Amino acid sequence: MDDYHRKLGLDRAITRRDFLNGAAISVAGAYTALRGSGLLGQSSSPTPALGADIYPPLRSGLRGNYPASISEFDNIRAGQYDKFPVADADIRESYDLVIVGGGISGLSAAHFYRKALGEDQRILILDNQDDIGGHAKRNQFDYAGKTFLGFGGTMAIATPYPYSYAAKALLQELGIEVMRYPEFINHDLDTKYHLRSAMFFDKEHFGEDRVVAGLGRLPWKDFFAQAPLSAAAQRDLVRLHGKNPDYMAGMSVVDKKAKLARISYQDYLLHIAKMDPSALPVFLGDGERNNKRVDTLPALEAAQHGSIGFNGLGLKLEESFNEGSFFFHFPDGNASVARLLVSRLVPAALPGEQSMNTIVGAKLLYDQLDVADAPMRIRLNSPVVRVEHQGPIESAEWVRIAYRQNGKLSAVRARNCILACYNRLIPALMPEIPARQKEALAYPVKVPMVYTNVLLKRWTAFQKAGISRFSAPGMYYPYVQLDPGTTVGGYSGVTTPEEPILVHMMANPNKPGLPRKEQNRVGQQELLTSSFQKFELEVRQQLARMMAGTGFDPAEDIAAITVNRWPYGYAYTYDSLADPDVPQEQRPHILGRQRYHLVSIANSDAGAAAFTNQAMDEANRAVEELLVRQGLT
């Protein structure tokens, strides 16, 4: 290793490898021993004596869609399981309902089904990952005698449109009182330590590395005056952040909106608002909008989101739902929602009365998830490879579901099945569904995303810099933030500068210039072919550059890194630039999610919206469809 990489700390002993490459391991023996020692299932005290070998949230290195969890996907797509791979005579387990996918949608589907038909229904959830929750992933670090929690994906109960009655009622049943969030949030970090937001201008896009602190606080004129930008760029950015003239004067509001729906935000800025092109890099990788980018975001959507440059146009935009009015963030994100669902489905796995006040500190007993003869079972490390009705489809009474576990193929049989997994995989999982439906299911391309949690031994350098979050346009991680620390359920993430803290870093690999779906495909490929070492190098280099001159030492200060790479991230959402303007009922997600005999389809993909409430609503609909088919409603 050369000096440069050594200085960054790439030779340092941190827990950085993907644990056993995520391969399935037997945990039962180890759990029995731990329970005997009284270390599990107790209060929410920190420093549980758990190891990453038996406790998946503690695994660091590469997480998210880690390699072993998705290693079957290519085989499935290549048709390796076109013939159902398990003989009927070898199918030993039968269920009332089998759910493929243990994310929030799959878990909610089990909940709704049991609510409708009773807790004696025999239900099995199969998931390819080693942990529950899908995108709602808990990252846990036990370090220096304390537990630090981060979110590896789904960050919060937050949505641009209101929760439905069903989703709100579910949250209530789980004991989550969203309106109480202000009691748990730490408002102190910034005020107590005089921390601000900053923008990092990198030399690749702006000619030199420079930090300008005071983003959003300083008057824009003073802020951009310090930036390494041309005078024209500074002038135009100040203009756009202020009260704009009507750049589309002479057009009716209807015509303005129609035009804005057909051009990108980038084209609006450059050609209508006449922004100097040298200012464009400032808009690269906007951390607030990781689903859409300046070159693919329709200008009208940008206006609706309150982006700069539109306030002189008199657009009369409908008042949108106030996202902040319904918000709750657990330290591990919506993994707490998933864990609360599990506590209702399989109480033995999370003993005691679990609510929002206890769930964060509760230890999940993974060996209780899949106990023989229990009516409700959750089987992890089990990628489903094939789903097929047994016998002639019209008269079939069973669905067969084949999966791989510990390298071995097995199958179960179910009266009903819900596919709450990635919708785009369904045509290959279940080749018997009609061609038109398969075509619709194959339409969306999920958004590639990376949520990396870096545990720092101390954050005195951030205190010295007076910065708690960075916007870093164009860099690998355009958004970087110190975890502000939520205090809930006996857990407190609040730390002093001399103590460890988590830094959250977000990335959205893409390829500016290509259409949005193409950019998603390129980003997915990039994530699928990037090693943990690549992410680690990006983390260390970027932190070293942003924190230069503050005493930050990437070799010394970093204790652990967990990279949640999600090539299969957000559900695809439509927009007026990239997708045909067709009536709602002809949208691909609607055509794709139709029940096919004994099988219905859930997941947020089925709602074409990347939110927890959508995952719940799609679960509710999928269950309803199965109940209606059975003549039960």
Ligand X SMILES: Cc1cc2nc3c(=O)[nH]c(=O)nc-3n(C[C@H](O)[C@H](O)[C@H](O)COP(=O)(O)OP(=O)(O)OC[C@H]3O[C@@H](n4cnc5c(N)ncnc54)[C@H](O)[C@@H]3O)c2cc1C
**Which residues here bind ligand X, judged by CB under 6 A?**
100-106, 126-129, 134-136, 153-156, 158-159, 334, 383-384, 420-422, 425, 449, 451, 566, 569-570, 603-604, 610-612, 615
Cα–Cα distance for residue pair 331/513, rounded to 1 Å: 36
CA distance 397 to 393: 9
CB of 245 to ligand X, least distance (A): 36
- Is the Cβ–Cβ distance between 293 and 286 less than 8 Å? yes
Could you tell me how many helices (H) and strands (E) the chain has, helices first?
22, 19
Using the minimum distance from each CB to ligand X, give the nearer residue, 282 or 482. 482
CA distance 18 to 60: 6
Helix (H) or strand (E) holding 327: none
Please state the closest distance from residue 383 (CB atom) to ligand X, in A.
4
CB neighbour class for 376 (10 Å; exposed up to 12, middle 13-18, buried from 19): buried
* Least distance CB 157 / ligand X (angstroms): 7
Contacts 24+ apart (CB under 8 A), 88-94: 88/390, 88/400, 90/410, 90/411, 91/400, 91/411, 91/412, 91/413, 93/124, 93/412, 93/413, 94/122, 94/398, 94/412, 94/413, 94/414
Of 450 and 465, CB closest to ligand X = 450
With contact defined as beta carbons under 8 Å apart, do 363 and 41 qualify? yes
* CA–CA dist 220, 215 (Å, integer): 8
Q: Report whether 10 contacts 19 (CB < 8 A).
A: no
Q: How far is the CB of 327 from ligand X (least distance, A)?
A: 9
User: By C-beta, is 240 or 563 nearer to ligand X?
Assistant: 563
Minimum distance between the CB of residue 139 and ligand X, rounded to whole angstroms?
Answer: 12
Nearer to ligand X, 106 or 554 (CB): 106
CB atoms within 10 A of CB 29: 10
Find the shortest distance in angstroms from Cβ 371 to ligand X. Answer: 20
Residue 244 or 405 having the CB closest to ligand X = 405
For ligand X, the closer of residues 71 and 244 by Cβ is 71
Whichever of 9 and 150 has its CB closer to ligand X, that residue is: 150
**Up-side HSE of residue 629: CA atoms within 13 Å toward CB?**
18
Minimum CB distance to ligand X smaller for 31 or for 451:
451
Residue 557: strand, helix, or coil: helix
Smallest distance from ligand X to CB 105, Å: 3
Coil, strand, or helix at residue 359?
coil
Q: Which is nearer to ligand X, 233 or 622 (CB)?
A: 622
Cβ 604 to ligand X shortest distance, Å: 4
Structure tokens at 435: 């061609």
CA distance 593 to 89: 31
Of 155 and 297, the one with the shorter C-beta distance to ligand X is: 155
Q: Residue 108 CB, nearest distance to ligand X (Å)?
A: 8
Q: Token match 């039962």: residue?
A: 28
CB of 507 to ligand X, least distance (A): 10
Query: Which of 422/443 has CB closer to ligand X?
Result: 422
Which three-class secondary structure state does DSSP give residue 404? strand
Shortest CB 514 distance to ligand X, Å: 21
Residue 30 or 166 having the CB closest to ligand X: 166
DSSP states of 144-165? TTEEEEEESS---B--SSPPPH
> Nearer to ligand X by C-beta: 320 or 630?
320
Min separation Cβ 462 and ligand X, Å: 23
Task: Give bridge partners of residue 412 from the DSSP assignment.
Answer: 93, 401
Least gap, CB of 166 to ligand X (angstroms): 15
**CA 66, CA 19: separation in Å to the nearest integer?**
10
Pairwise CA distance, residues 541 & 563, whole Å: 15
Beta pairing, strands 399-405 & 408-419: antiparallel
CB-count exposure of residue 395 (10 Å: 0-12, 13-18, 19+): exposed
